[in-house]
Amino acid sequence: MRRRIRHIPIDLIQEFDILNKNGSGTLSAIIKDELEARIQRVTKSPWSHTAIAVRDLAGNMWWYEAIAEGFVKSPMSKYCDPDVTVNSDIVDLTLFRMKQYLTEREKDTMRLKANKYVGRKYAWEKLLGALWQLVWKTKHNPVKGTRLICSEAVAKIYKAAGIYLTPNSPRTTYPSHIAKSVLLKTIV
């Protein structure tokens, strides 16, 4: 029986790749699992989280993501492992990449935008807005502000370069919308 891997081979990752994470069993904390399950229900998605691989201004690659602590740079090792191979039984993670190559100008714009977001607070209230959308069956999320949720941040980073991953506003973009983007291909 092959073991279940919750990491992606690090040699597969390219800058601006997008990672969607399924919330099942990633942390031992029951509360965390329950929160991820609720996010999945509210967003009607098998994924509860999105992150983007970006080089910082010093040239080091990080996962940029909006988590409970805010918008942060997380080490690549959080979702990557050099010992994992493409043939491993990878679960809970899906990696997406643009079908078209990004220009240097687009990359620079996206790097600047990602680094500008570092330190912003997480938008818990936007998840309540997503619940509003679900209950009232509307595309309008009544909650606005400068705080970010993970998929919104990724959509805004791409939008800064003039790339619209989904027809939705970044404010109402969830991991499932990113996964369905016609601009992206699935890597693993």
Asked if residues 160 and 110 have their Cβ atoms less than 8 Å apart, the reply is: yes
Q: What are the pLDDT digits (tens) for 50-107? A: 999 999 889 899 999 998 889 999 999 888 877 766 555 556 788 999 999 999 999 9
For CA atoms 138, 139, 142, 148, the dihedral sign is positive
Q: What is the pLDDT of residue 163?
A: 98
Q: What is the pLDDT of residue 159?
A: 98
Residue 182 dihedral angles phi and psi, to the nearest 5°: -75, -10
Show the domain range for 18. 4-186
The answer to pTM > 0.85 is no
Counted domains in the chain: 1
From residue 80, give the alpha-carbon distance in Å to each of 25, 47, 77, 86, 146: 17, 18, 5, 12, 30
| Residue 101, domain CATH | 3.90.1720.10
Beta bridge partners of 55: 61
Q: How many helices (H) and strands (E) does the chain have?
A: 5, 10
Beta bridge partners of 96: 18, 186
Q: What is the pLDDT of residue 26?
A: 37
Per the prediction, the chain carries an average pLDDT of 80
Q: What is the pLDDT of residue 16?
A: 98
Q: Which two tokens stand for residue 25?
A: 């069993």
More confident residue, 172 or 20: 20
Split at pLDDT 50, 70, 90, the class of 48 is confident
